[in-house]
Structure 1
Amino acid sequence: MKWLRKKRVLLVLFLGFTLLVFLNTQWLTLFYPIYYKEEIRYHAGKNHIDPFVVAAIIQVESKYKPDKESRKGALGLMQIMPDTAKWVMDKKKLKGITFESISHEPNMNIEIGTWYLNYLSEQFDGNMFAVIAAYNAGPANVKSWLKNGRWDGSLETSKNIPFGETRHYVQRVAHYYKQYTQIYKAF
């Protein structure tokens, strides 16, 4: 009998602990971390982009690995294509910046990536899902899909995005965005 009572007490303690853990969202930060918060906050604010969108894009693009380079040649945390990086550097009149710094310096990579997101946001009237799709597939493709009615620019109809990679990308970024906003509340 004593043995059975001890098991019940242990079970109640375990269930109480488990309930406490699940009611406290802080433990979720272990599964959904955000690194480079200061850089993201600064550049997202400067470029009028929701920092949670930037964090979600970085998570999907590179899992916060600043030295990541894709098979297609995309560089750094935000996986910026070299041609896009060069174009942004010309537009922003950034001198003396190398592809090496874009690839290995999180601050520079986030600066260029958030500026480009702002540029896309202006093109798509702030439609976050169209911006995310354009960040992956290019603005010309997304404009074409929206114009010819293949996709209406919403998450609910993201299954209509013609490129499987972009469809999956938009859904993953939206998932991380939702998780981040629920876990962190404020950036």
Structure 2
Amino acid sequence: MKKNLILILFIIIVLGAALYIGKDEVYKYLYPKKYSDYVEFYSNEYNLDENLVYSIIKAESKFEKDAISRRGAKGLMQIGDGTRDWAIEELQIEDADIFEPRDNIRIGCWYLNKLYKEFGDLDLVIAAYNGGSGNVKKWLADQEYSQDGENLHTIPFKETSAYVEKVKHNYEMYKKIYN
């Protein structure tokens, strides 16, 4: 009951704000472009649509630079220690403070670019970002999850399936609001 009341109050506030300041401004509040200098720079460097990067940051950390997941992923793009260490080696950088937005976004964009090179498909890239590229490869090789070996018709991890849908929704909203 309390959750329903909070949800109703939130909807009333959002609708009131939309009427007062305009729906475009409410959408921009709900889908912000924080850390835009870094997102734009590294999206360009790694040949990514910046709207996708914003979508992943929103899904991963809600733009909280000090976020830590229950699995230990850190920062805006929720980078794991293994991915950080791999990036430091591959990018030949001294060190990376994963909670520093510049470093986190750089590594996240580098990793997304790696996944695009490996899979070439948005859904697979998003699934691999969340569920791991090894799992995506296994799923593609399994008729239960992939009928053609190139696309997933089912993602067996509920968390990853929901994550793909969330990021794709965010991505569509970012494109609609800002393009």
- Which category of TM-score, normalised to the shorter sequence, fits these structures? 0.7 to 0.9
RMSD: 1.9
Tell me, in whole angstroms, the C-alpha distance in 2 between the residues paired with 1:26 and 1:67: 26
1:76 is matched by which residue type in structure 2? G
**Between 26-35 and 163-172, the greater mean CA deviation after superposition:** 26-35
Q: Deviations over 1:79-123 (max 9, x none)?
A: 00001110111111111x14xx112x1010000010011001100
Which residue of structure 2 lines up, in the alignment, with residue 116 of structure 1?
111
Shift, 1:30, TM fit = 1.7
Q: Deviations over 1:13-62 (max 9, x none)?
A: xxxx95x945xx34311221121111101001100111111100000000
Contact 1:26 1:183 in 2 (8 A): no
Report the 3-state secondary structure (helix = DSSP H, G, I; strand = E; otherwise coil) of the residue aligned with 1:148: coil
2:151 is matched by which residue type in structure 1? G
Which residue of structure 2 lines up, in the alignment, with residue 11 of structure 1?
none
* Residue ranges of structure 2 left out of the alignment (5+ in a row): 1-17
Which residue of structure 1 lines up, in the alignment, with residue 158 of structure 2?
164
2:102 is aligned with 1:102: no
2:140 is aligned with 1:146: yes
Tell me, in whole angstroms, the C-alpha distance in 1 between the residues paired with 2:151 and 2:90: 27
Tell me, in whole angstroms, the C-alpha distance in 2 between the residues paired with 1:37 and 1:153: 32
Listed as ranges, the matches of 1:1-187 within 5 Å are 18=19, 21-22=22-23, 25-95=24-94, 97-98=95-96, 101-103=97-99, 105-124=100-119, 126-149=120-143, 150-151=145-146, 153=151, 157=153, 160-185=154-179
1:153 is matched by which residue type in structure 2? N
Tell me, in whole angstroms, the C-alpha distance in 2 between the residues paired with 1:31 and 1:90: 36
Tell me, in whole angstroms, the C-alpha distance in 2 between the residues paired with 1:26 and 1:167: 30
Which residue of structure 1 lines up, in the alignment, with residue 9 of structure 2?
none
Shift, 1:71, TM fit = 1.4
- Structure 1 segments of 4+ aligned residues over 4 angstroms from their partners: none
2:107 is matched by which residue type in structure 1? I
Tell me, in whole angstroms, the C-alpha distance in 2 between the residues paired with 1:50 and 1:161: 24
